[in-house]
Structure 1
Amino acid sequence: MIAKRFETILLGLAATLLLALMAVTGIDVVGRYLLNAPLSGAFEMTELMLGALVFVALPLVSRAGAHVEVDLLVGALPRAVQRALGLFAATVSALVLCWFAWTLFGLMLDQWHEGARSVSLGVPLAPFAALGGVACLASALFGLLREFSHD
């Protein structure tokens, strides 16, 4: 049930990020147009939170099997071939996601050693790369578990 607990944490984090994005945008719009005082760093906050939201949602989409699929011919193939193609696609997707994770962890290490920070607010960037790497690994695992656990 670790996967279920992880899913609950991701759902809570996604909801929190979405709420924070709405708050930042709302405060910025009210400040900009009604008070002539925009929220300082709002654009950068939005960029960082939106990136984090995409990575937090990725494992949830993989777990639910809700990725966009185009299956023009698959329905006409025998069930065994459909199953083999599904397993092949899940394996290739997992390998690509693991490569993304490897790349993001490398980026995280570089950013950590260089002390990379965002331009306006000075937010450390390494944790965002780490989040992306963990999300890609979780997505790969969830996708494989989902496909290989079918009857």
Structure 2
Amino acid sequence: MLGRAIDTVERISAAFLAVVTALVFVSVILRYIFAWGLPDANDVTENLLGIVIFWGIAIASYRDEHITVDLLWTPLSARGKRIVDVFATIFAAVCLAYFCWAMLEKVSDTRDAGVTTIDLGFPIWPYHLVAWTGILAATCLTVLKIADVVRAPAAE
């Protein structure tokens, strides 16, 4: 079940990254070959890139593929490493939960303010909502990671 959820999160992030790549490619071709630009290409690309980053945070935080500093962790005993791992994962979950709450407020504020793209007037809040779901996924996966870290055997 958890493996399927992680695969789904990866696929969502990959799909948005593919859309960003295609949009940038088409925009560049149109601009440099035909001297014509896609309306709102920059705004849409920026918002989609934010979505990709937020969904990528979900996978990186679950798989421990984020930047770590092992300077203090490496010399610790197996018990010390376990304590640090549990504390760090709980701390990350708390930080992500706060970020999730703050981002949800940003979605609401953006919707209430009626912020739109420059050229076509597309509302921005749906992009923020999809990005927020990525942070929500990151929070949920990190909470699940706490159980994995607590159950894992002590590091040698």
- TM bucket, shorter chain: 0.7 to 0.9
Q: Does 1:103 align with 2:102?
A: yes
Q: Which secondary structure state, in structure 2, belongs to the residue aligned with residue 89 of structure 1?
A: helix
**Which fold has the larger relative contact order, with Cα–Cα distance below 8 Å and residues 6 or more apart in sequence?**
2
Bigger Cα displacement from structure 2, 29-38 vs 9-18: 9-18
Alignment map for 1:59-78 (pairs within 5 Å): 59-78=58-77
The 1-side partners of 2:35 and 2:115 are apart by 32
Give the equivalent residue in structure 1 for 2:55.
56
Q: Which secondary structure state, in structure 2, belongs to the residue aligned with residue 97 of structure 1?
A: helix
8 Å Cα contact 2:48-2:127 kept in structure 1 = no
CA drift of 1:77 comes to 0.9
Bigger Cα displacement from structure 2, 132-141 vs 75-84: 132-141
**Structure 1 vs Structure 2 CA RMSD:** 1.8
Provide the aligned length of Structure 1 versus Structure 2: 150
Bigger Cα displacement from structure 2, 36-45 vs 126-135: 126-135
Q: Which amino acid aligns with 1:99?
A: Y
CA drift of 1:98 comes to 0.7
Q: Which amino acid aligns with 1:84?
A: I
The 1-side partners of 2:14 and 2:120 are apart by 23
CA drift of 1:108 comes to 1.6
Q: Does 1:120 align with 2:126?
A: no
Percent identity over the alignment is 25
Unaligned segments of structure 2, at least 5 residues: none
TM-score by length of 2: 0.84
CA drift of 1:104 comes to 1.0
Unaligned segments of structure 1, at least 5 residues: none
TM-score by length of 1: 0.87
